[in-house]
Structure 1
Amino acid sequence: MEESPESFPIRIHEQGGNNPQYIDDDNLVDSIVRRLEQITPNMSQAPICRVVSTIRDVKPSVYEPQMISIGPYHHGKERLQEMEELKLAFLADFLTRNPKKDLAACISKIREHEERIRNCYADGLRMLDSDSVVGIITIDGCFLVELIIVVSGKAEPGSWARSMVWRFDDIVSDLFLLENQVPFFVLEEIWKTLDCDLAIEADDVLGFRPLRDAGDVNLLNLFIGLAVEYSSIGLPTLDDNSPLEITQQPHHLLDLLHSIIFPRWTPPDDIYTVVNTSHIPCAVELKRKGLKFAKAEHTLNDAFLSFSDRVISMPSVYIFDDTTPQLRNLIAYEQSILEVDYKISSFAAHVDDLIETAADVAVLRESGILHCGLGSDIEIANLVNELGKGVSINRMNVVCGDINKYYNSKKVAWKAELKQNYFSSPWQATAVLAAAFLLLMTIIQTIFAVLSYTRSNPG
């Protein structure tokens, strides 16, 4: 367990006394200096960090690896020890592919970058010594490179790779957790040491699903294929067959997944400006006011919501059993690093607005927007309601303002009330029209009776 930074020395004043029992400015200065030395200079910008408690506490298990640890944060946990032997076996297979590179060369390469590696973690890994950091990163990095070589079918798999096929989906799920990462540049450095031909296709691919061809055979393209094929986030961008271009090296695999969905952005100067983000009513209430929902052609990369001519358009949303961990970790990542846009956080917030109960789920599903693989609409509503907890977004969506303006219109409210009270069903509408017809006939009859009486009594 990580130790907390040294705290201040606390001394108690004597009861009723004018002077403190203990005064020692030098000791206090030394204490604060020691605490300052434990602070990592770039902790607010480090791409790998622990999930903040406000988000973690909603559902802690989705942020922790269930099968395999990658990187230092969950290394050594007893329930993950079984896979440590698998990682060592993959390391052995990787070294076999590199007859000119022994383990000492790999360790030396990683040690050259130790300071840069530490700077990638928010706490600077200050509780780990040099050998621990280099050892963990070397084994886990070589494991990931060997894994992608085998899964992509670029080389014949070793015997240990055959034993993990049935667990591969669970292993991949753990690769996209915020706290379970190694810097991507480390994987690139290890990749550069390879001394074998990866341009051919292996005869035995062990039944792995074929990865999407992302272009030339390089590490980044292979991991893009893995992210697209095995991601449980059914977002339109990932279903598109158009070429995927990642212009910048990702920080790690979770960042790669986020970059596939959204490109990297440059933070605006007013990033810390507090903005009151508009909430919108739930789907049932919006439908009651005459608004309709439609599946949009655009993706989340363009906009989550659009509103025109009483129609709210939004991309398809896919929610399955294994969607939650990746979605929650993407949200946690957005909340932790400045240079990542908050679009998935906005997605969670807006879907949370739209869905309050199972009835809202039904409205979106019937509109062709929501695609679910869970047991019931109530389960989906509960899952979505949890997504937005602890999540903050710092930008106003003007579409929400337009929706609320229409929703709060008195004219719209009057029409909605009229429709709900008198035209909510064909039978009710027929009854209202019949009553109106009878009333009209009664009025006409009364008018004719009055006219007839007037003519018969002119004086």
Structure 2
Amino acid sequence: MEIQKWTKHCIYAIPSCVADLNKKAYSPQTVSFGPYHYMKNHLVAMEEHKHRALVHFLRRCNGKPLELLIESMAKVEEDLKDSYKPFDDDRWKNKSHSFLKMMILDGCFTLEVLRFADSDDNGGDYADNDPVFSGHGRLHVMPYIRRDMLMLENQIPMAVLEILLEFDGNNNQDPEFLNKLILKFLCAHIPIHKSFGKCLHILDLFRKSLLQHEPTHPTIIPKQIIASTKLQQEDDELIIPSARELQESGIVFQPSKSHSLKDVSFDGAAGILRIPSIVVDDFTDTTSFNLIAFERMHVGAGNEVSSFVFFMDNIIDNEVDVVILKQKGIVQNALGSDKAVAKLFNSLSRDLAVAREGGLDIVQVSVCRYCKTPWNKWRADLIETYFRNPWAIVSLAAAIFLFALTVVQTMYTINPFNHDENSNPSPPPRPPFFPRLPRHHL
């Protein structure tokens, strides 16, 4: 019974040891979905718009009564409650269908938001000056609803949306219709290339969309790199150098062909590290924290997002690394400050535990081995010592120039001796010796 109940858990309350690191990242600011933040003071204002969304939803259901919808939802009530861990059953026990009504309200509001985002007008039957479902709401309200939809504590089971679509009489035969509708609202710029099947909730679907591609290039480890290092994965091999140090070691950064966080590869023969292009904006920290929390809390979710965040934190130490990745088209900075981007990634991996497995671990080990080969390490040390700042370069150039002058002066000092020897020709040959005759012979 415990195993069956644990299998149903998919929406979790963030433990205080995690939430205290960044309290705002896990608490919705505009709208609540589900029981954890239901009727909180700063979120009550949106309840009025939820009821309006329910009215518009029922109008499209050909006069079907709300009681019939409650009966349909009651068939899975226990499964819906079991989706939450923990779930305070005493809060809803003595209230007639209050939990189901909350699920219906939140589900209808979610569907109306998705349909409105999918349309080019105001959704067909909303007023032009509607605070939420209008051009004004599309610009000023929808981005914050989107952010709150991606919080782990602010999820509703996907089964709620599926039941509402069935009650609506949606005869769309595409099994991915709901998934496509959600992803078009969350990340319209990311193309969908696969079927995601049954998902637990919106955050789970969004996570799967970020991981839909395998690496488009294989990780290549040259034999000389393998031979020059130990085959065992040492602890320090996971501490990959920063982007600046990697660049100085001869590694070239290139954006991957897809936006999948799994599409990270390293070509050790050419020294090319491929990383997917990512957009860093005001909501990146909130979304990343909740994706990491979901992987941390849900058994079997995987570790891919956490591993990618850990990888990016390693190669980004400061704003200089961000500038390098920006120039290569890997980081698109919508925050404005490169220092803020570096601080963001450094904070995301705090208290983060990452399993040493998967393709990204192979990439990190391969890159570290590449940097430890004698030639690449010597080149990195040379750049670190002599080319780190302009004054070091000037000093090195001056030293080389003085050394060249010393060599030239030495050559000219030695050369006059050879010149003197060449300027004094050898004495002419002595005439043949004739013996001198005595005078009396003359």
Query: In the TM superposition, what is the alpha-carbon distance from 1:175 to its structure 2 partner?
Result: 1.2
Counterpart in 2 of 1:414?
378
Return the alpha-carbon distance in structure 2 between the equivalents of residues 304 and 45 of structure 1: 32
How far does residue 181 in structure 1 lie from its aligned partner after superposition?
Answer: 0.9
Spell out the pairing of 1:63-142 with structure 2 (5 A cutoff).
Answer: 63-130=26-93, 131-142=97-108
Give the secondary structure class of the aligned counterpart of 1:66: coil
SS in structure 1 at match of 2:279: strand
Q: Does 1:244 align with 2:208?
A: no
- Give the C-alpha shift of residue 278 in structure 1: 1.1
Query: Which of 314, 325, 328 pairs up with 1:353?
Result: 314
Matched residue, 2:112? 146
Alignment-mate amino acid for residue 254 of structure 1: L
Q: Percent identity?
A: 25
Instruction: Give me the whole-angstrom Cα distance separating, in 2, the residues matched to 1:406 and 1:246.
Output: 37
- Distance of 1:76 and 1:379 partners within structure 2: 34
Residue in structure 2 matched with residue 310 of structure 1 by the alignment: 271
The 3 A distance-change label for structure 1 pair 419 and 393 is closer
Contact 2:261-2:305 at 8 Å conserved across structures: no
Structure 1 unaligned regions, length at least 5 = 1-36, 200-214, 230-237, 266-274
Partner of 1:34: none
3-state DSSP class of the match of 1:313? strand
How many Å apart are 1:345 and its aligned residue?
0.8
- Aligned partner of 2:398 in structure 1 is 431
- Does 2:304 match 1:343? yes
Q: CA separation of 1:169/1:67 partners in 2, compared to 1, >3 Å: closer, same or farther? A: same
Aligned partners of 2:129, 2:3: CA distance in 1, in Å?
38
| Paired AA for residue 101 in structure 1 | K
Q: Does 1:280 align with 2:255?
A: no
Aligned residues: 386
Displacement, 1:346? 1.1
User: What are the superposed Cα offsets for residues 295-320 of structure 1, whole Å, 9 maximum, x if unpaired?
Assistant: 33344354334243333221222211
Who is 1:234 aligned against?
none
Deviation at 1:82, TM superposition (A): 0.5
How far did 1:184 drift? 0.7
CA distance in 2, matches of 1:48, 1:258: 14
Q: For 1:96, give the aligned amino acid.
A: R
TM-score by length of 1: 0.74
Counterpart in the other structure of 2:257: 297
> What is residue 12 of structure 2 aligned with on the other side?
49
- In 1, are the aligned partners of 2:259 and 2:278 still within 8 Å (CA)? no
The structure carrying a bigger helix percent of its residues is 2
Structure-2 change in CA distance of 1:115 and 1:454 (3 Å):
farther
Q: CA RMSD in A?
A: 3.4
CA contact (8 A) 1:90 1:160 kept: no
SS at match of 1:249: coil
From 257, 260, 279, the equivalent of 2:206 is 257
Structure 2, unmatched stretches of 5+, are 215-233, 425-442
Deviations 1:229-284 (A, max 9, x none): 3xxxxxxxx534xx43323121111111112122499xxxxxxxxx9681212223
- 1:159-170 counterparts in 2 under 5 A? 159=127, 162-164=130-132, 165=137, 166-170=140-144
Deviates more, 1:305-314 or 1:135-144: 305-314
Structure 1 pair 408/314, CA: closer, same or farther in 2 (3 Å)?
same
Amino acid at match of 2:92: D
Q: Deviations over 1:404-450 (max 9, x none)?
A: 22333454333333344445667556435433433443554566578
**Is 1:222 matched with 2:189?**
no
* Corresponding residue of 2:287: 326
Q: Which stretch shifts more, 125-134 or 314-323?
A: 125-134
Deviation at 1:78, TM superposition (A): 1.1
How far apart, CA to CA, are the structure 1 residues paired with 2:383 and 2:115? Answer: 62
- Aligned to 2:13, the other structure's residue is in SS state coil
What is the aligned partner in structure 1 of residue 328 from structure 2?
Answer: 367
User: What residue number does 1:206 align with?
Assistant: none
Q: Which amino acid aligns with 2:283?
A: D
* Distance change in 2, residues 1:53/1:394 (3 Å): farther
Q: Which has the larger radius of gyration?
A: 2
